[in-house]
Amino acid sequence: MTDLPGRRLLLVHAHPDDESINNGATMAKYAAEGVHVTLVTCTLGEEGEVIPPELAHLAADRDNALGAHRMGELAAAMRELGVEDHRFLGGPGCYRDSGMMGAPQNDRPESFWRADLDEAAAHLVEVIRAVRPQVLVTYDPDGGYGHPDHIQAHRVAMRAADLAAEPAFRRDLGDPHEIAKIYWNCVPLSVVEAGFARLRAAGREIPFPGIATAADVPGVLPDEEVTAAVDTTAHAAAKAAAMRAHATQIAVDGPFFALSNDLGQPLFPTEYYRLVRGWPGVSEGLESDLFAGVEA
Ligand SMILES: [Zn+2]
């Protein structure tokens, strides 16, 4: 069917930088193991705020040149993670960043938030049927924290997973393929609390003006709802380097980072997931491998 490696992982994200923050170490780990890792990013992140003052002119309300710049940041991040297959949904610039929920940018016809769901999903079906991943990673229905592009990325990913498996749907896009396991990104509450305790304990050594709270972390779940913990300690440095590559969006300092709100957050070396479709590969406890129980 395909000349690709036996194990194949697909991640669907809203903006350049989301993949490195959420799954950077997981992507580096699987890429290093020879898994074919495919990243699909839905927008160029044109509406992001810019952290470095010398690049502030790129912002949407000035030169409106952030999208092209962030394509370069994403490419650099993928080099740090060892991921070669990264694509934009429908091609670069097909869908525009919708801005934060309630912003006037939500209503632009080209915004991802306004995209026709099945039309957007068809772009992803083509990728799914070509790459034939066993595992899909995306956001929960709230997109982790309610950003319209994250919510839409969730909807498109879940819809595309269904349509890709549907024999009657668009055979011009390839032969049907059913993804064996679907995971949503999450972080256990106890891990978030411990991370912020470390951050507070570091006190004045933190170079950020303030400290975020657990409520600022996307996808926080009660510990018992988390189903997989991928130990990615060996790839923490690659994750930090990938996050650093998104310099317009993220400031990394040691085990901490900040987004454009300047509030310090802990970097999580272990990445966590909730299995929402397919069967867990372990009979009890947390899975440590997203491919557990999957035939390559
Ligand atoms: Zn995002």
pLDDT digits (tens, 9 = 90+) for 177-190: 999 999 999 999 99
* Amino acid at the residue 240: A
Quick one: what percent of the chain has pLDDT higher than 90?
88
Residue 1 reports pLDDT greater than 60: no
For residue 45, give the nearest of 187, 148, 185, 136 by alpha carbon: 148
Structure tokens at 291: 């491919």
Asked if residues 17 and 50 have their Cβ atoms less than 8 Å apart, the reply is no
From the CA of 249, how far away is ligand 1's center (Å)?
10
pLDDT of residue 268: 87
Residue 204 reports pLDDT greater than 80: no
Grade residue 25 by pLDDT with cuts at 50, 70 and 90. very high
From the CA of 284, how far away is ligand 1's center (Å)?
33
From the CA of 147, how far away is ligand 1's center (Å)?
7
Per-domain boundaries in the chain = 8-188+222-249+270-277
Asked if residues 235 and 33 have their Cβ atoms less than 8 Å apart, the reply is no
* 8-188+222-249+270-277, CATH topology level: Rossmann fold (3.40.50)
From the CA of 20, how far away is ligand 1's center (Å)?
11
Nearest-angstrom CA–CA distance, 10 and 39:
6
Residue 89 reports pLDDT greater than 60: yes
Nearest-angstrom CA–CA distance, 46 and 156:
20
pLDDT digits (tens, 9 = 90+) for 34-63: 999 999 999 999 999 999 999 999 999 999
From the CA of 278, how far away is ligand 1's center (Å)?
26
Nearest-angstrom CA–CA distance, 261 and 2:
44
From the CA of 275, how far away is ligand 1's center (Å)?
21
pLDDT digits (tens, 9 = 90+) for 265-274: 998 889 999 9
pLDDT of residue 269: 80
Nearest-angstrom CA–CA distance, 125 and 121:
6
Q: What is the mean pLDDT of residues 106-127?
A: 97
From the CA of 53, how far away is ligand 1's center (Å)?
21
Task: Find out whether 235 is annotated in a ligand binding site.
Answer: no
Task: Find out whether 15 is annotated in a ligand binding site.
Answer: yes
From the centroid of its chain, how far is CA 273?
A: 12
Nearest-angstrom CA–CA distance, 226 and 230:
11
- Total-model pTM: 0.96
Q: What is the mean pLDDT of residues 151-170?
A: 98
Average pLDDT, the chain: 95
pLDDT of residue 2: 59
* b/e burial code for range 43-56 (CB count within 10 A of at least 16 → b): bbbbbbebbeeeee
pLDDT of residue 189: 96
From the CA of 18, how far away is ligand 1's center (Å)?
5
Quick count: other Cβ atoms within 10 Å of Cβ 284?
5
Grade residue 203 by pLDDT with cuts at 50, 70 and 90. confident
Task: Find out whether 36 is annotated in a ligand binding site.
Answer: no
From the CA of 42, how far away is ligand 1's center (Å)?
10
Which H or E run contains 30?
A: helix 18-32
Asked if residues 126 and 75 have their Cβ atoms less than 8 Å apart, the reply is no
Q: What is the mean pLDDT of residues 116-122?
A: 98
Residues flanking ion ligand 1, Cβ below 5 Å:
14-15, 18
From the CA of 200, how far away is ligand 1's center (Å)?
26
pLDDT digits (tens, 9 = 90+) for 58-86: 999 999 999 999 999 999 999 999 999 99
pLDDT digits (tens, 9 = 90+) for 123-148: 999 999 999 999 999 999 999 889 99
